[in-house]
Chain A
Amino acid sequence: MLELRDIFKTYDNQPLLRGISFSVSQGETVCLLGASGSGKSTLLRMIAGLENPERGRILFNGADLAQTPTHLRDFGLVFQDYGLFPHLNIFDNVAFGLKMRNLPTAEISLRVAALLEKVNLTGFETRKVTDLSGGEQQRVALARALAPRPRLLMFDEPLGALDRTLKESLLQEIRAILHETKIPVIYVTHDQDEAFAIADRILLLRDGEIVRVGTPAEVWSNPGSAWAAKFLDAGNVIEGKMQNEECGMQNVVTAFGEFPVNCSHKHAAGDKVSLLVKQSGEGQEIKFKVEEILFKRNQFEARGAGLVFQMDKAPALGQIIKVKVEVKCLA
């Protein structure tokens, strides 16, 4: 449905987006995950037609959108700070897109009522925007964006301004609604938990480039780079030096010992490589001295030598412990 081809954009003479290409298909939720300043919001604005790419094309169902102004693109947009119209009540906010399409009044009323029910705000029609809580405002913004039944729905950090518990419940609601509507969705966030919870596919953005694409499970188990592993908090990252190949496997020498790994591309002996070290029930053992212990939820987090592991029982400080780990080659 939506397809981006090789998008470039600079901001203040600094490259912001460098050759972004991806596509979104019917009913799919694609999540753009990246730190702030990685250019993901700008990408959304370009898809919405609020900004123009310097190079590259944006197509929808094969048609180039370059000449289509924002108001004719039929894409919905939900902002972090809601962007509700302060001079209109809830009904008129949700009805705005329908009025712009000159629908009959009776149909507008019906559709607004149905949408408010969907976001659990029935009876809020005549309330003022300013009387609503943050979560309620964001639900209104969602209803407003859904009302004209857009061809594509975009979320720009929609839960960024909300507190943790509200975030989780609203995330559930959004996911349920998206499943029901089958609209293709682009969801922008810097929060990996949010991205893993809602995405069918994750695009990891770094410095204006897509560094990793995959389902949440794929990305989680194989982040693809030391940066991505750290950004996603996917496990411990350690450095090591590649040894000569022996029996089809290469060994990497690290401060914690020697580990056989299977890298996706060949490395020469002596190359520096990053390894992802994840706790697992079986596999190799890694030894380290506990320097710090933190209580987290119902587990203990043991830290030492730059490694972090979860333990069921509290170890003693200074104790040397062994943990079974799975070691993977990053890139």
Chain B
Amino acid sequence: MQNTINSPTKKIGLRACLSANLRIFLWLPTLLFLIYFFFYPLTRILNLTFSPATFTNPNNLLITFHSLLFTFYQAALSTLLTFALGIPSAVLFSRFDFRGKSLLRALTAVPFMLPTVVVASSFNALFGNHGWLNVERLTFNVSPSPFVLILAAHVFYNTTIVIRIVGNTLSRLDPKLEAAARSLGADSFRVWKNITLPLLRPSLLAAALLVFMFDFTSFGVILLLGGSNFSTLEVEIYIRALKLPNLPLAAMLSVIQLLFTLIFSILYTRAINQVATQTAPRFSAARPPKSLRESAFVFTVYCLLFTFFLLPLLSLPLRSLTRLEADRGQRGEVQYGFTTDYYKELFINQRGSLFYVPPIQAAKNSLGYAGLTVFLSLALGYPAAYALAKPTRLEKFLDPLIMLPLGASAVMLGLGFILSFGRALASPFFVPIAHTLIALPFVIRALQPALASIPERLRQAAAMLGASPFRVWQTVDFPILSRATFSAATFAFTVSLGEFGATLLLTRPEYPTIPIAIQRFLSQPGGLNFGQAMAMATLLMLLTLVSILFIERTRLSDII
């Protein structure tokens, strides 16, 4: 009995049987899900785009041209500014050791994982009309234009990419190369020009492409900080889908958007592969600053980063607890200073309020949607990841298909749903389905390596040592998979909680999510609405930060 259980032939037989008939059920549900909820809507969009009436309309072409131009302009400018901050930061982290280094590095990485509404709210809390620097009672009166705010938020988001990609390469550069060049007669400038820069070029390119791509597809930040005047492709799609309906135009814009995203991702993949081949060994070139110039550099960049990243993150929760101005229409006795009113208001169903329900209902909706997203993406992702961990030839085609929704913007997903399931959208179930589409690639990418990384030898060793099949699963598979599963689930949860673009197009007024509630609060006048937006955004930020901490604790290895 013991022998038959542990014999390898039986295991192989089982697997072979599975691969013959049952394997199809591992990935078929995922494929059907994608076909129905992604590829079918995509064909609707393409159908609408490639009708002659759409792209012969001069008005459509003019709008497309203008928004394309502006999208490129703001993305290029944002990328440039991101590099202006990112390069000195990358040098700081890769070349120098100083106190609080890992904390500062973590601080710069936080924004990247925060939902767009939180970042937008943070910048509003600091610079907005009701923000710290701009309230009448305080005399700073710094009011940067919305465009500057958008650029700053993009820098806030993406600096960590430059630090990671460029900084990694910098810290892996062999310090001997510089020493060799100097001994051969190159001064500092020529060392930089002839050695360091050429060696950094692939990572600079990769970082630039990735940052540019994120800026190119940025939606929430632009809509919330700039309003619909700042018509990037994404914003224009949203406007033409909901505000000034022109669905063919929206479809055409999203196809253009998808095309550019695909081009950028292909270029990025090429660039990042070159980075991987160029930098094999790891050197520890980081050391404490020596000269006065180095100390000054470290101090300056340190302070700059600390201020730039901490200030918005802090001003949001502080603003949500501080009354700086009268609520709307409020006269006379106003208590300035510390207040928990904004949080209390969230539980009250005001007459004539923005919602038909107390605002806190949005949080409940969000949690519900997030739970459904976790369930759906794990239910679909687990079997698919299992199939992709050791794929047959047929299943290899599945991999790029699953990743494709990543190339589509959230707004485009929403548009596709509107075009495909128009009347059915009254059902609240389409929101978690859209969230699942977005989360699924990440979930599969998180599970797949863990599933593939369990060496058969470990299971055999456990069996040889007398573990029954169940004990093998319990002691080998489960501990490895549970971490990956947990981080995948948390990731899906976080994605759903913070998702803004698709939800904005799909949600029903009576089922707001946290990001939607924040957007509605922000778009209304008055201190109370603003305060409630701050309170909501603070809640979302805390939820996300807790999730990030969980993911960081459980992840297997560095991924970027």
- A interface list, Cβ under 8 A from B: 45, 48-50, 69-77, 79, 81, 83-87, 96-97, 100-101, 144-145, 147-148
Residues of chain B in range 185-205 having any CB-CB distance to chain A below 8 Å: 185-187, 190, 194-195, 198-199
Enumerate chain B residues within 8 angstroms of A96, measured Cβ to Cβ.
181, 184, 186, 194
CB of B176 within 8 A of CB of A83, answer: yes
Q: What is the bound-complex CA distance between A48 and B176, given in angstroms?
A: 12
> Closest CB-CB distance, A93 to chain B, in whole Å?
9
Other than A70-B183, A86-B278, give 11 A-B pairs with Cβ distance below 8 A. A45-B179, A71-B182, A71-B185, A71-B190, A72-B185, A77-B180, A83-B176, A87-B198, A100-B184, A144-B180, A147-B184
- B interface list, Cβ under 8 A from A: 174, 176-177, 179-187, 190, 194-195, 198-199, 278
Q: What is the bound-complex CA distance between A100 and B185, given in angstroms?
A: 6
CB of A85 within 8 A of CB of B179, answer: no
CB of A77 within 8 A of CB of B183, answer: yes
Q: What is the bound-complex CA distance between A45 and B178, given in angstroms?
A: 12
Enumerate chain A residues within 8 angstroms of B184, measured Cβ to Cβ.
71, 76, 96-97, 100, 144-145, 147-148
* Known A-B contacts A77-B179, A77-B180, A96-B194; A83 and B174 likewise in contact (beta carbons under 8 Å): yes
Ordered by A's residue number, 28 sampled pairs between the chains whose C-beta atoms are within 8 Å are A48-B179, A48-B183, A50-B179, A50-B182, A50-B183, A71-B183, A71-B186, A75-B183, A79-B180, A83-B179, A83-B180, A84-B180, A85-B177, A85-B180, A85-B181, A86-B177, A86-B278, A87-B278, A96-B181, A96-B184, A96-B186, A97-B184, A97-B185, A100-B185, A100-B190, A144-B180, A145-B183, A148-B185
B195 closest partner in A (C-beta): A85
Enumerate chain A residues within 8 angstroms of B183, measured Cβ to Cβ.
48, 50, 70-71, 73, 75-77, 145
Determine which residue in B185, B186, B190 has the highest number of CB atoms from chain A within 10 A of its CB, and name it: B185
Enumerate chain A residues within 8 angstroms of B176, measured Cβ to Cβ.
79, 81, 83
Q: What is the bound-complex CA distance between A197 and B278, given in angstroms?
A: 37
> Closest CB-CB distance, B270 to chain A, in whole Å?
17
> Closest CB-CB distance, B70 to chain A, in whole Å?
37
Determine which residue in B176, B187, B190 has the highest number of CB atoms from chain A within 10 A of its CB, and name it: B176
> Closest CB-CB distance, A44 to chain B, in whole Å?
10
A76 closest partner in B (C-beta): B183
CB of A83 within 8 A of CB of B177, answer: yes
Determine which residue in A75, A81, A97 has the highest number of CB atoms from chain B within 10 A of its CB, and name it: A97
Q: What is the bound-complex CA distance between A66 and B177, given in angstroms?
A: 23
A-B CB pair tally, cutoff 8 Å:
69
Question: Within the complex, which residue of A70, A85, A86, A144 is in contact with B182, where a contact is CB–CB below 8 Å?
Answer: A70
> Closest CB-CB distance, A104 to chain B, in whole Å?
16
Enumerate chain B residues within 8 angstroms of A148, measured Cβ to Cβ.
184-185
Q: What is the bound-complex CA distance between A97 and B198, given in angstroms?
A: 17
B181 closest partner in A (C-beta): A96
> Closest CB-CB distance, A195 to chain B, in whole Å?
22
Enumerate chain B residues within 8 angstroms of A48, measured Cβ to Cβ.
179, 182-183
Enumerate chain A residues within 8 angstroms of B182, measured Cβ to Cβ.
48-50, 69-71
Enumerate chain A residues within 8 angstroms of B181, measured Cβ to Cβ.
85, 96, 100
> Closest CB-CB distance, B102 to chain A, in whole Å?
21
Enumerate chain B residues within 8 angstroms of A86, measured Cβ to Cβ.
177, 199, 278
CB of A74 within 8 A of CB of B179, answer: no
CB of A87 within 8 A of CB of B185, answer: no
B187 closest partner in A (C-beta): A71
CB of A74 within 8 A of CB of B180, answer: no
Determine which residue in B184, B186, B195, B198 has the highest number of CB atoms from chain A within 10 A of its CB, and name it: B184
Enumerate chain A residues within 8 angstroms of B180, measured Cβ to Cβ.
77, 79, 83-85, 144
Enumerate chain B residues within 8 angstroms of A50, measured Cβ to Cβ.
179, 182-183
> Closest CB-CB distance, B422 to chain A, in whole Å?
56
Q: What is the bound-complex CA distance between A84 and B187, given in angstroms?
A: 18
CB of B179 within 8 A of CB of A69, answer: no
Enumerate chain B residues within 8 angstroms of A147, measured Cβ to Cβ.
184
Determine which residue in B177, B182, B183, B185 has the highest number of CB atoms from chain A within 10 A of its CB, and name it: B183
CB of A69 within 8 A of CB of B185, answer: no
Determine which residue in B177, B179, B190 has the highest number of CB atoms from chain A within 10 A of its CB, and name it: B179
What are the 5 A-B residue pairs with the smallest beta carbon separation, nearest first? A97-B184, A100-B185, A83-B176, A70-B182, A77-B183
Q: What is the bound-complex CA distance between A228 and B186, given in angstroms?
A: 40
A87 closest partner in B (C-beta): B198
> Closest CB-CB distance, A12 to chain B, in whole Å?
11
Q: What is the bound-complex CA distance between A20 and B190, given in angstroms?
A: 33
Enumerate chain A residues within 8 angstroms of B190, measured Cβ to Cβ.
71, 100
A101 closest partner in B (C-beta): B185
Q: What is the bound-complex CA distance between A49 and B278, given in angstroms?
A: 28
Enumerate chain A residues within 8 angstroms of B179, measured Cβ to Cβ.
45, 48, 50, 70, 77, 79, 83
> Closest CB-CB distance, A54 to chain B, in whole Å?
13
A102 closest partner in B (C-beta): B185
Enumerate chain B residues within 8 angstroms of A70, measured Cβ to Cβ.
179, 182-183
Q: What is the bound-complex CA distance between A45 and B182, given in angstroms?
A: 12
Q: What is the bound-complex CA distance between A48 and B278, given in angstroms?
A: 28
B279 closest partner in A (C-beta): A86
Q: What is the bound-complex CA distance between A87 and B195, given in angstroms?
A: 8
> Closest CB-CB distance, A82 to chain B, in whole Å?
8
> Closest CB-CB distance, A148 to chain B, in whole Å?
6
Determine which residue in A70, A81, A97 has the highest number of CB atoms from chain B within 10 A of its CB, and name it: A70
> Closest CB-CB distance, A144 to chain B, in whole Å?
7
Q: What is the bound-complex CA distance between A101 and B185, given in angstroms?
A: 7
CB of A69 within 8 A of CB of B187, answer: yes
Q: What is the bound-complex CA distance between A49 and B185, given in angstroms?
A: 12
Q: What is the bound-complex CA distance between A36 and B544, given in angstroms?
A: 50
Enumerate chain A residues within 8 angstroms of B194, measured Cβ to Cβ.
96
Q: What is the bound-complex CA distance between A83 and B181, given in angstroms?
A: 9
Enumerate chain B residues within 8 angstroms of A69, measured Cβ to Cβ.
182, 187
> Closest CB-CB distance, A130 to chain B, in whole Å?
9
Q: What is the bound-complex CA distance between A50 and B179, given in angstroms?
A: 7
> Closest CB-CB distance, A120 to chain B, in whole Å?
22
Q: What is the bound-complex CA distance between A75 and B174, given in angstroms?
A: 20
